[in-house]
Amino acid sequence: MRCPLCKTMESNALFYSDKHREYHRCSICDLTFVPPSQLPEREAEKAEYDKHQNSPDDQGYRKFLSRLFIPLQTRIHANSHGLDFGSGPGPTLSVMFEEAGHEMSLFDPFYAPDTRKFTRKYDFITASEVVEHLHNPAKDFALLWSLLKTGGWLGIMTKLALDKAAFSGWHYKNDPTHVCFFSGKTMEWLAEKWQVKRVLIGNDVILYRKI
């Protein structure tokens, strides 16, 4: 089985399984992933996303997103242009950056599927609670990195996978649309691939600056 991030076929052993599906962990990049045969169908995936009730009017949701917004906002120049990748049915992070004076573009394969957004480069890109949903993270990360200007920032927010004991009781894995689980080692693997340093903020925000 080929790892969907680093594409190696070496030692992608079964890491954990439950009554719903299997989870394999790559020995090279440390990604934990669901096998291709157990990925959700597109219709079922969208049905789960349609349940989300996120809104810019929800102050609790804004507070949650501020974990990514604040550290990224302090690192970008005034009047920057950003891309909110995987903006979802109720874009909110983009609104927060617009309120701070930045221009924002949105892309979401279900709710804002305009691939013309991929024809320019950006000062920063956000992927908040997105990467765990990716069926082909190698392709998507290559795209995002190519869309960043030199000096630009990629900001990711996702819960990081731990050891098997923690994973077995982890609620995050139970969402049927969560199919890729990144560990701290995985995030370091990405930094090495891009030849940059990662900036870890708290337990779930990772920033990369393109040089």
By residue range, what is the domain housing residue 108? Answer: 13-209
Tell which phi-psi region holds residue 88, choosing left (phi > 0), alpha (psi between -120 and 50) or beta. left
3 within some domain: no
120 within some domain: yes
166 within some domain: yes
Per-residue pLDDT of the chain (211 residues; tens, 9 = 90+): 899 999 998 778 999 999 999 999 999 999 999 999 999 999 999 999 999 888 999 999 999 999 999 999 999 999 999 999 999 999 999 999 999 999 999 999 999 999 999 999 999 999 999 999 999 999 999 999 999 999 999 999 999 999 999 999 999 999 999 999 999 999 999 999 999 999 999 999 999 999 9
50 within some domain: yes
184 within some domain: yes
Burial group, residue 143, by CB count within 10 angstroms (0-12, 13-18, 19+): middle
The enclosing domain of 130 has a CATH number of 3.40.50.150
- Domains in the chain, number: 1
4 within some domain: no
2 within some domain: no
Neighbours of 154 (CB within 10 A): 26
One DSSP character per residue, 140-180 reads: HHHHHHHHEEEEEEEEEE-PPP--HHHHHT-GGGGSTT--E
The whole-model pTM stands at 0.97
90 within some domain: yes
**Residues 178, 158: contact at Cβ < 8 Å?**
no
Rg (CA), the chain: 17
